[in-house]
Amino acid sequence: MSSLKKNHCCVFSDDERMVLEYLSDKKYHSGVQLGSALNKSRTTIMNYMKKLSDSGLLINKVIGRGYQLQIVPEFYDRRILLKRPNLSFFDTVDSTNQFLLEQSDVSDGTVVLTDFQSHGRGRRGRDFLSSYGTQIMFSYATNFKEIGEINGLSIVIGIAVVKALESVGINNVQIKWPNDLYINGQKVGGILVETSCSKKGVYTVIGVGINVVRDFLFLVDLSKLDREIGAIDISKHGISRSEMVLLLCEYIDKYIANFKRVGLQPYIETYNNYDAFAGSNVRIITNERMIEGVNGGINATGAIILYTQEGKLVEVVAGDVSLRKADIT
Ligand code: ATP
């Protein structure tokens, strides 16, 4: 893993970590107190605070009292993460997908995990919001021979994630075609598959982002969003973020290996069972047009099947399209 180019990422220094440890009691600590504990000037402490705030940590500053960490994140446990040798953790990265796309010669199963993305992205240049310590966000690298082989990959990854969550008792997660994770009508996570083609094949990066701590909803600006979002409280299910990361990666390893062998076909029925809008009236919005119809699940390439009101069967491939629930009768 030492060969990864460390672009646009950061790991907190020991001092910055120490500051976080002091602040983890949720009490106020003055710059002077922290400075003398760490043997650093107040200006240096101020700079640490700026960096921590810029990394998505909610730090209150009150004149005369000092700094307070409003919401204490559940920090990753490095000893657990180390169990996966091809996983690298950075406290912040601009986008884990971008980070992996900028690498060359990355072996299958390489994972880049972060606690904050300054430019996390969804499809079509949309933002994926993050706040430190309340999500699981990583990208996973794999290689295919031909671009046609990845049809339906985001569906299979969605199933892998849902199954991993189910294995710890989180049973109500659904998939919104083609790449979103939903619970009770709220988006709790997403998957973003991006590729880079060359003579060697199709280098594929799979981004996974899931909100896994309730506090996430207090930490992001919900007014920026065009939909309701939610979070899964994984701690209620007795699993830490670190353990959940490893479990998700194991499921993804297994599902990708099988997908490479047998393709999407064996997963179609499973997907249909998890489809958030199965049998519902839906609207597909593309740049040029809007199609409404009854959602008939997916076909062998991962395209969605719609039965329109005019009695036509239309198949739409994932790409630059959005799916919404429609209120047609
Ligand atoms: P569509 O529903 O139009 O197909 P999408 O859900 O697939 O879009 P993406 O591009 O994958 O959209 O993700 C970006 C969208 O996800 C944002 O526009 C926003 O609505 C939502 N979003 C952003 N951050 C988060 C988050 N942390 N958790 C859940 N949803 C988020």
Of 11, 73, 119, 117, nearest in space to 241 by CA: 73
**Ligand 1 centroid vs 126 CA: distance in angstroms?**
7
Is the beta carbon of 222 within 6 A of some atom in ligand 1? Answer: no
- Confidence (pLDDT) at 244: 98
- Confidence (pLDDT) at 123: 85
What radius of gyration do the chain's Cα atoms show?
A: 21
- Confidence (pLDDT) at 104: 85
Burial class (CB in 10 A: 0-12, 13-18, 19+), 146: exposed
Mean pLDDT by 10 residues, the chain (329 residues): 80 96 96 96 96 94 95 94 97 97 94 96 88 96 96 97 98 96 96 95 98 87 87 96 98 98 97 95 88 95 94 88 75
Q: In this structure, which residue's CA is closest to atom 1 in ligand 1?
A: 322
Burial class (CB in 10 A: 0-12, 13-18, 19+), 283: middle
- Confidence (pLDDT) at 288: 80
Cα 29 from Cα 23, distance rounded (Å): 7
Is the beta carbon of 322 within 6 A of some atom in ligand 1? Answer: yes
Cα 83 from Cα 109, distance rounded (Å): 14
- Confidence (pLDDT) at 231: 95
Helices vs. strands in the chain: H and E counts, helices first: 9, 16
**Ligand 1 centroid vs 70 CA: distance in angstroms?**
26
Is the beta carbon of 186 within 6 A of some atom in ligand 1? Answer: no
Q: In this structure, which residue's CA is closest to atom 3 in ligand 1?
A: 322
Strands of 313-316's sheet, edge to edge? 313-316, 304-307, 290-298, 281-285, 322-325
Is the beta carbon of 126 within 6 A of some atom in ligand 1? Answer: yes
Residue 134 carries which DSSP code? Answer: S
| 246 CB-side CA count, 13 A | 14
**Ligand 1 centroid vs 122 CA: distance in angstroms?**
6
- Confidence (pLDDT) at 2: 45
pTM: 0.95
- Confidence (pLDDT) at 20: 96
